[in-house]
Amino acid sequence: MSAKRSNSMFTPLDDKLLEQAMTMLGEILEGETLDPINLIVCGGSSLIATGLVQRTTKDVDIIALFNSKKELLEAQPLPPQLIKAAEVVAVELKLLKNWLNNGPRSIVNPRMPNHGLPEGFLERLHERAYGPRLTVYYISRLDQIYFKIFASVDQGKLNRHLNDVIALQPSETELVSAARWAMIQDPSEGFRETLKEMLMVTGYERIAQQI
């Protein structure tokens, strides 16, 4: 099929296809003369890769990179060799054209303490190597809760992010911490009120009363 196929015809990523796609990506990069690429990945693909939730996703969300010294780097721009390799994988496996992207990169903010990330974020990452040139660090269950709570506010009362939070069965302490972290990312009163309303209508009234 042509690389110009419609994005409406892409194949969603389940656990097996995700593993195949990332392995193929690593194999392509292995033939390149470049420094190893280290990606920090969140979202549905991270949930699937770590076995936290069984579902499909359309893409792999990169929030940041690591350099050779394990120092955090912004995911803008992505390495050109990585983009080219991902395009090959997209054609071969009939994936969304931009199945590998840096859409959520704004979560990382160098101007904020700890780059805007939850405390202990880097220590909780799950490392997985796909050959000598590609290593992916999938975020933890706790950080999924943090990110999903924050993302769910922008998408209305019932959305996939909130469904993921429910599937992760967070404790009250985890939800309160996630809500408070989200309000640091957006300290506006409008965000706080929307967050409280979302928690109320989804059965988390006790949490809403604490923020």
Confidence at residue 2, expressed as pLDDT on a 0 to 100 scale: 42
Confidence at residue 3, expressed as pLDDT on a 0 to 100 scale: 43
3-state secondary structure the chain: CCCCCCHHHCCCECHHHHHHHHHHHHHHHHCCCCCCEEEEEEHHHHHHHCCCCCCCECCEEEEEEECCCCCEEECCCCCHHHHHHHHHHHHHHCCCCCCEECCCHHHCCCCCHHHHCCCCCHHHCEEEECCCCEEEEECCHHHHHHHHHHHHHHHCCCCHHHHHHHHCCCCHHHHHHHHHHHHHHCCCHHHHHHHHHHHHHCCCHHHHCCC
In order along its 211 residues, the chain shows pLDDT tens digits of: 344 455 668 999 999 999 999 999 999 999 887 889 999 999 999 999 999 999 999 999 999 999 988 899 999 999 999 999 999 999 999 999 999 999 999 999 998 989 999 999 999 999 999 999 999 999 999 999 999 999 998 776 568 898 999 999 999 999 999 999 999 999 999 999 999 998 988 888 999 999 9
Q: Is pTM, for the whole model, over 0.75?
A: yes
